[in-house]
Amino acid sequence: MSLSHPIPDRLQSPLARRLKSWESLLLLVAVAIFVANCFASPYFLDAWNLSDATFNFTEKAMIAFAMALLVIAGDIDLSVASIIALCSTAMGAAVQAGVGTPGLVAIGLGTGLAAGAFNGALVTRLALPSIVVTIGTMSLYRGIAYIVLGDQAYRGYPDSFAFFGQGYVFWVVSFEFVMFALLAVVFGVLLHKTNFGRSVFAIGNNATGALFSGIRVQRVRFILFLLTGLMSGIAAICLTSRLGSTRPSIAMGWELEIVTMVVLGGVSILGGAGSIPGVVIAAFVMGLVTFGLGLLNVPGIVMSIVIGALLIGVIALPRLWSMLRWGA
């Protein structure tokens, strides 16, 4: 009997499978980038600099958690950055009318939910492809922000509103980072420990089969769009609070970084596979990369090239690995 063939994954121990997982590889990459940044800049290990580094990914990661569920279910939302602009514009207009911090938070969350519901209704009620719908609403929501603001900006946010994007809970631990950690736990439990999460995986693997299994497919998909809109609203509150102003160009280009974060985290772009821990590690990887490049005064356009190359590489890597493996 020949022992030259590798042991199938399903017969290996849980520890062996975990060590060979994408999350483990990604964690090694994160550690390598951290060490490289330590050598690249003497300012990297400063506690306050590390705290500032978290702002490079916390707001995007909040949306990425919801986006991960949406992509696993076989959909996508490319309008998330434009939803941020719409929410921020709505909050800015409310500030001019004298609305206080609680009202601003409610308006930001409500606008995000409304935008997510509109996307979800178009996809689930009219059976339109999510990528087409959200490309359209990406222009729609951003266009509304430009029509309202033009080349102007909304300012004058209350001092208490600044806490969401600038406040610290303990020493160098920001409110945003605490929110990021709490949402990671919530979405991790939702996806991996509940019937709703199992429904998301079932829909992504075989929507027709899921429907015949008794899963209310369209309802689950609609809820996922609502969650994505809500997370965009939360991110809008944090980002607007951190910047202290609203411009129509706010969060421009974030959709690419959020999708990259999701795919880098091991979520299959074809649906049916992925994990929240992977997205968490991917968020740290992207945050470390962008912050390290920033400390080295690398221009923003170069960072965009790096992120684009990262997205293409992550999508192409499994296919190339499969070709090499079976070709050999």
Q: How far apart are CA 29 and CA 276, in angstroms?
A: 17
Q: Tokens 């091991």 identify what position?
A: 266
Band the pLDDT of 41: cuts 50, 70, 90.
Answer: confident
Whether residue 314 has pLDDT greater than 90: no
One-letter identity of residue 60? K
pLDDT of residue 1: 38
pLDDT of residue 82: 97
- Quote the DSSP letter at residue 153: -
Is residue 174 within a helix (H) or strand (E), and if so which, with residue range?
A: strand 173-174
Is residue 36 within a helix (H) or strand (E), and if so which, with residue range?
A: helix 22-40
Mean pLDDT of 125-148: 96
* 3-state SS assignment for residue 91: helix
**8 A C-beta contact, residue 228 and residue 73:** no
When the candidates are 2.60.40, 1.10.10, 1.10.3470, 1.10.150, the CATH number that belongs to 44-316 is 1.10.3470
pLDDT tens digits along 221-263: 999 999 999 999 999 999 999 999 999 999 999 998 999 999 9
Q: How far apart are CA 275 and CA 258, in angstroms?
A: 15
pLDDT of residue 75: 97
3-state DSSP: the chain helix, strand, coil percent, rounded to 5? 75, 0, 25
pLDDT of residue 4: 46
pLDDT of residue 279: 96
The distance of Cα 224 from the centroid of its chain, to the nearest Å, equals 13
Q: How far apart are CA 272 and CA 252, in angstroms?
A: 29
Q: How far apart are CA 31 and CA 327, in angstroms?
A: 32
Q: How far apart are CA 161 and CA 88, in angstroms?
A: 13
Mean pLDDT of 94-121: 97
Burial string for 91-124 (b: 16+ CB within 10 Å, else e) reads bbebbeeebebeebbebbbebbbbbbebbbebbb
Q: How far apart are CA 275 and CA 90, in angstroms?
A: 33
**8 A C-beta contact, residue 258 and residue 60:** yes
* 3-state SS assignment for residue 310: helix
For 79, other C-beta atoms within 10 Å of its C-beta total: 30
Q: How far apart are CA 307 and CA 289, in angstroms?
A: 9
Mean pLDDT of 138-157: 95
**8 A C-beta contact, residue 280 and residue 265:** yes
| Domain extent listing, the chain | 44-316
* 3-state SS assignment for residue 140: helix
Tokens of 26: 């990604």
